[in-house]
Structure 1
Amino acid sequence: MNHQKLTFAQRVGLELLWLWAWLFAVMPYWFKYYVVENLFYVLLCYVLRYRRKVVWQNLRNSFPEKSDDELTAIRRKYYRTLSELFVDTVNMAHMSADKARTVLTVKGLEEHRAAVRGRDWIALTAHYGCWEYCSYWGLYEPSQMLVAVYHPLRSVVMECFYQRLRNYENSTTVAMKECLRFYLRNREKGIDGKNLVMGLIADQNPPRRPDSHWFRFLNQDTIFFDGGEKLALRCHLPVYFVRMKRLRRGRYEMSFDLLYDGEEVVEPNEITERYVRRLEAEIVAQPELWIWSHRRWKHKRTNVNG
């Protein structure tokens, strides 16, 4: 979304929003993460009670074996995560390359670099931890361009705001519906001569289709976006699960698990199945880091053959 598509009032709103975010981002770490985050936590959890029924229902359905006390503890931790994500995201408005390498470190960098050198590849991630920090991958591998595939926001002001946050050095964005065409158009020469990393968040709630495949995920029948698998099979691209490990407030470690090497013969939906199992394991290990306030299971399975 470029500024020419904004009205004058929208441009003013965007610049004021960006100025506020920038002023917040330059504040001391202790103030952002131990004052503002704590205040935001109280607001979300106890004052607004933000989507509390949705969070509780999702947790109860996902972990039927847990007691109410255990689920309540997870819920409280989740609101902590949500508050921290607010700070993490706004903090990106003022992020130097050196600071970005501080908030995001990469485990097994040399091994992964050697495995994908000279190749395009697909990064499958999720709404787990601060996924926005994935935008900084290009700082560690400048020979690659991260193409973050996303769903445009309805608000043009917020759309432009998030574009500014995400379009970092060696990083760009493309709408989900343009993903395949974008890659096919750029795969020969890349972007600025760089290999392409197609980054997809695959755990969102996709539109239901007659041929949607259902996966058993967190004790519920669930459909997933399969665009990553389709792109991988069509273009013979390796696929990696991107793991985001929280180290402390505002600090994450990225690592990679190979899901598909680009050549293996696999059954339909097998690549997505591997992604689902990796993600499920991460959520079970640290459930508070996943986004429970989304209405993830709006679609219900009506047959047993899909």
Structure 2
Amino acid sequence: MKNLKFLPFYVLSIIPLHLLYVLSDMMFILIYYIIGYRKEVVKKNLTIAFPEKSEKEIRKISRHFYLHFCDMMFESIKTLTMGKRAVKKHIKINNEELIKQLYEKNKSIVMYSAHMGNWEWNAFFPNFFQHKVTAFYQPLSNKYFDELMQLIRSRMGVLCVPSQKGYKTLMQLQQENKLTLNLIIGDQSPSAHPKASKYWTEFMHKKTAFLTGADVISHRSDYAVIYPQCTKIKRGVYETKFVLLDESPKASDKFSLIEKYSKALEENINQQPSLWLWSHNRWKLSA
């Protein structure tokens, strides 16, 4: 059987979530107190983002981030066996009607997402919406884990699309008369190469470079653009409220969506700082 090579993860996945959180607490002790995984990167990022906060407050956010980060890893593994009924208990959609209205208007959607909350659980969206859900991704160098992540993301019906083939795939689906909801994560750091496409704007108190792909695709396709504002209600329960950034971006200024996205993401981070991926070296580029 093809998926037998992922048997250890399936075994983990059938463990009840409340017991997986016990393992998560143990992993937190290991990576936070013993290994110290990327603690300096996290501290540097938090200090840049929150210059007004004391060292004690920074440490508190950092600790809560690592607790959430460990939870998210085990929650993502749980995706392998979680049923549709369980999904409804863990994912709450605040304004599902916005997506339904866009569907009735015959509009495909770019969901301009981020490494916020448990972004891997966006793989559950096919359970909520009529749109065909796609997710852009960068293939991992490790083939085993690349296949595992695609398996996790596609199990509920998400079509995983390599980012390099993203726009071409969307146009093919459009020719097939399929309305799509397309998940594009936009908070990775662009390449440092001088010719790499990037856009600079003020974000979390610092000039920050953003990838331009989602903006370019949205303007070309004229798909409606939304941001999924994520909050964590309690352990293992997330709520998403969709923020409409632009319904017809073709008529908007170039890079206007990046400006709107960065402001929406900043507001989301300020709501619950521990939910963002602070271990990513977000500000490795300087303007």
TM range (shorter): over 0.9
Matches within 5 A, 1:100-119: 100-117=87-104, 118-119=106-107
- Give the structure 2 partner of residue 85 of structure 1: 72
1:97 maps onto 2:84 in alignment: yes
How far 1:116 moved relative to its partner? 3.1
1:176 maps onto 2:163 in alignment: yes
Among candidates 151, 161, 174, match of residue 164 of structure 1: 151
Aligned residue pairs total 284
- Give the structure 1 partner of residue 115 of structure 2: 127
Distance in 2 of aligned mates of 1:70 and 1:226: 33
Sequence identity of aligned pairs in percent?
24
How far 1:90 moved relative to its partner? 0.9
- Give the structure 2 partner of residue 15 of structure 1: 4
Distance in 1 of aligned mates of 2:30 and 2:100: 42
Distance in 1 of aligned mates of 2:127 and 2:55: 43
- Give the structure 1 partner of residue 124 of structure 2: 136
CA change 1:125–1:64 in 2 (3 A) is: same
1:31 maps onto 2:15 in alignment: no
36-45 vs 107-116, which deviates more?
107-116
- Give the structure 2 partner of residue 304 of structure 1: none
Question: 1:68-109, CA deviations, whole angstroms, 9 ceiling, x for partnerless residues?
Answer: 011011111111111111111111111212122222121111
Structure 1, unaligned stretches of length 5 or more? 4-10, 302-306
Distance in 1 of aligned mates of 2:59 and 2:69: 15
Q: Secondary structure at the match of 1:245?
A: strand
Q: Secondary structure at the match of 2:24?
A: helix
Distance in 2 of aligned mates of 1:29 and 1:298: 36
Distance in 2 of aligned mates of 1:238 and 1:110: 14
How far 1:263 moved relative to its partner? 5.2
- Give the structure 2 partner of residue 283 of structure 1: 269
- Give the structure 2 partner of residue 237 of structure 1: 223
1:205 maps onto 2:189 in alignment: yes
Structure 2, unaligned stretches of length 5 or more? none
- Give the structure 2 partner of residue 219 of structure 1: 205
269-278 vs 20-29, which deviates more?
20-29
Question: 1:248-289, CA deviations, whole angstroms, 9 ceiling, x for partnerless residues?
Answer: 111111221000111573222111100000000111121111
- Give the structure 2 partner of residue 63 of structure 1: 50
Distance in 1 of aligned mates of 2:239 and 2:279: 24
RMSD after superposition: 1.7
Question: 1:143-181, CA deviations, whole angstroms, 9 ceiling, x for partnerless residues?
Answer: 311110011100000011111100033311101111111
- Answer yes or no: is the 8 Å Cα contact 2:136–2:160 preserved in 1: yes
Distance in 2 of aligned mates of 1:280 and 1:198: 21
Q: Secondary structure at the match of 1:223?
A: strand
- Answer yes or no: is the 8 Å Cα contact 2:134–2:159 preserved in 1: yes
- TM-score normalised to the size of structure 2? 0.94
Distance in 2 of aligned mates of 1:86 and 1:213: 31
